[in-house]
Amino acid sequence: MARSVYVTGIDRGDGRQAVELGVMELLTRQVDRVGVFRPLVHASAPGEPGADHVVELLRGRYRIDLPGPELYGLTYEEAAALQAAQGQDELVSVLVDRFRALERRCQAVLVLGTDFADTTIPDELAFNARLANEFGAAVLPVVGGQGKEAEAVIAEVRNAHRAYTDLGCETLAMIANRVAPSTKQRIQRTLTEKLPIPAYVIPEEPALAAPTVAQLVEATGAEVLLGDAAGLARDVRGFVFGGAMLPTFLDALTEGALVVTPGDRADLVVGSLAAHAAGAPPIAGVLLTLGQHPGPNVMALAARLAPGTPVAVVPEGSWPTAAALTHLEGKLTAASPRKAEIALGLFELHVDTAELTNRIEVGRSERVTPMMFEHELLERARGNRRHVVLPEGTEERVLRAAEILLRRNICDLTLLGEVDAVRRKAAALGIDLPQEEPGADRAQARIVDPTTSPLRRQFAELYARLRAHKGMTVELALDVVTDVSYFGTLMVQEGIADGMVSGAVHSTAATIRPAFEVIKTSPGASIVSSVFFMCLADKVLVYGDCAVNPDPDAQQLADIAIQSAATAAQFGVEPRVAMLSYSTGTSGSGADVDKVRKATELVRALRPDILVEGPIQYDAAVDPYVAATKLPGSEVAGRATVLIFPDLNTGNNTYKAVQRSAGAVAVGPVLQGLRKPVNDLSRGALVQDIVNTVAITAIQSQDRKGAEQ
């Protein structure tokens, strides 16, 4: 039977969607078949079940491959009618049947309780408790603390715990959510003393409550005149209503504000967009009232001043528009992935996820899915936070990845680039890069301009010493170290950062050359090589070398195999090494096969503890049935986890073929053989690729630091 967790509350406005997202994250780290079930859902139209925005967010984010209707029980209207006609017992019976049908297909199920909003369910708390008991689910109650004094929150949490316990529920923990940050410690201390189960206190996060421009557009029925998807995804942190003259109006602008002004005030439209373009301050967008469209010349100027910034128009005047806007709050939806990252970061920062996972008691799956592997990377990186430098500070994908890394508390970051340019780019994308706060308990970011940094002279002197044999002088080095790749590498060399990730816009050579010159290879490594973690549907394989060495000789190939086995073990993949060739065992001959055979012999001589087989063909390496015919009795054949390709041409083409044809997630390239971690990105890297690579870099640094201590 699947282990189920029932997240519920006691009233509306508790912000429990962030908790539901956090619990789903915990479940998907442990098992690969997780379901989500909403017993009651609001109808989208009379007689038609609606698509709940949280369910759809979880379906998309966690790749829940189950038909949508199976994730819902009944609409509130259907439930009310059934209860009125046949009683609550029959209603519960129907919901249990639908839940059990889903549960049979899953290893764990997250149940989303009723929302206490516009429902006709009497004694909703008791109803949720009964459903949880009938489902056999453990309960995780969430109590909202928005706008409440500490004593009121403490009393409500204790009362809710007693209520659910008295109703026979197995209660995992209690969560007080959206509390005032100033009261968090007091509430946490008191609940820890008074409750027999864990209690977690999550403070209010303005970025979660802030609606996006897109949500405001939907709520007001506005017509979008300008703006791209990134602009519409910006958070609206306040409103500035335009009526004053331009100089006074500009003084009133605040960061993240939505400007609301009549459509005939071209001066305010152009002025606010010009201020945004200058970063003083960056705004969320412009909403025009009275249904008036600015002239084509004004719109053309607006598009050039702030590309992507939303400009929309509503038919109503400022007063009814203000009334429609002021009570809107942000929602976690599939269309707002940034908010999901913010919510997860908040949950992971304030909830003891290891403790909660142990209380849920979900047995870990033996299968390792791509999502589980990615979760493990982030969790390990977060467990011992390191500092990673990102040289490409103005690149959009890097900035988006940086926001995720910071929000999820994965590592501290330094972004390189001209400070105002980085901040303007982030603001234009609606990305919040928090200022560095000494002593803060969450991940920090700083922006450093190599051309003006006090470190420039120090780095130039160091680089000149390291490259003196090549004729380098301090005067020349002063220019060299302003290159972001060199500056970032020197930060790593000097221990100012623990690792570096680059390559989203720079070539592999531009990323690796400084590392060769400054950091150099680790003791015992003859070359620098790379691996990709190939995350297939049910396992993770390690491919090497697919990115660095064009045609390694036998000695180098053996070194690549030994390095790759160590990297595999470092990331939880038991190394069984296959030295790939176009023939298996003694069946073939020729220079290429002989090279692989010699490399295999060298691995066995140098590291007899490593399980290695070669030469071996790919099918014999991974398919037990082929292996039984070609290499019976081999400890590696049919079970290989580390696959070493004879040359770059074979390796690069194979990893891309598997990635595209088998739908594998390729994480890498991960460089190995350097004394300190520097990793290269593909120039086609996605945001999640960058996040994963930074996490890997942080983990590499953790292991190196541990070895040095």
Q: Tens digit of pLDDT for each residue in 112-166?
A: 998 766 666 678 888 899 999 989 889 999 998 988 999 999 999 999 999 999 9
- Cβ–Cβ under 8 Å, residues 113 and 37: no
Q: DSSP class of residue 334?
A: T
- What confidence score (pLDDT) does residue 189 get? 94
Please check the confidence at residue 505 and state whether its pLDDT lies above 80: yes
User: Where would I find the beta strands (DSSP E) of 510-664?
Assistant: 529-535, 540-544, 576-580, 611-616, 642-644
SS3 257: strand
Band of pLDDT at residue 542, cut at 50, 70 and 90: very high
**Distance from the Cα of residue 420 to its chain's centroid:** 26
Domain 3-208 sits in CATH at 3.40.50.300
Report which of 175, 125, 118, 176 is spatially closest to residue 148, judged by C-alpha positions: 176
211-325 shares its CATH topology with 366-520+678-709: no
Half-sphere exposure of 328 (CA within 13 A, CB side): 23
Average pLDDT over residues 413-427: 89
Q: Helices marked H in 499-571 — which ranges? A: 508-518, 554-570
Domain layout of the chain by residue ranges? 3-208, 211-325, 366-520+678-709, 527-673
Torsions phi, psi for 363 (to 5 deg): -65, 135
Neighbour-count burial of 528, counting CB atoms closer than 10 A to its CB (0-12 exposed, 13-18 middle, 19+ buried): buried
- Cβ–Cβ under 8 Å, residues 497 and 488: yes
Query: Listing from the earlier edge strand, what are the strands of the sheet with 138-144?
Result: 72-75, 34-41, 108-112, 3-9, 138-144, 174-179, 199-203
Average pLDDT over residues 513-535: 88
Q: What angle in degrees, to the nearest 10, is found between the helix axes of 484-493 and 508-518?
A: 40
Please check the confidence at residue 507 and state whether its pLDDT lies above 90: no
The CATH number, out of the four listed (3.30.40.10, 3.40.1390.20, 3.40.50.2000, 3.90.1150.10), of the domain defined by the range 211-325: 3.40.1390.20
Q: State the Cα–Cα distance between residues 50 and 44, nearest whole angstrom.
A: 4
Band of pLDDT at residue 650, cut at 50, 70 and 90: very high
pTM of the model as a whole = 0.80
Partnered with residue 580 across adjacent β-strands are 616
User: Where would I find the beta strands (DSSP E) of 174-307?
Assistant: 174-179, 199-203, 223-226, 238-241, 257-262, 285-289
Q: State the Cα–Cα distance between residues 183 and 531, nearest whole angstrom.
A: 48
Q: Count H helices and E strands in the chain, helices first.
A: 29, 25
Q: State the Cα–Cα distance between residues 222 and 225, nearest whole angstrom.
A: 9
- Cβ–Cβ under 8 Å, residues 279 and 427: yes
Report which of 83, 76, 86 is spatially closest to residue 119, judged by C-alpha positions: 76
- What confidence score (pLDDT) does residue 575 get? 94
CA 346-352-358 angle, to 5 degrees, is: 130
- What confidence score (pLDDT) does residue 493 get? 93
C-alpha distance from residue 194 to each of 186, 191, 198 (Å): 12, 5, 10
- What confidence score (pLDDT) does residue 362 get? 63
Domain topology for 527-673? Rossmann fold (3.40.50)
Domain 366-520+678-709 grouped into CATH 3.40.50.10950: yes
Band of pLDDT at residue 407, cut at 50, 70 and 90: confident
Q: DSSP class of residue 668?
A: E
Average pLDDT over residues 322-329: 79
In the block, which residue shows the tokens 């084509």? 296
Partnered with residue 313 across adjacent β-strands are 223, 288
C-alpha distance from residue 681 to each of 458, 507, 689 (Å): 28, 9, 8
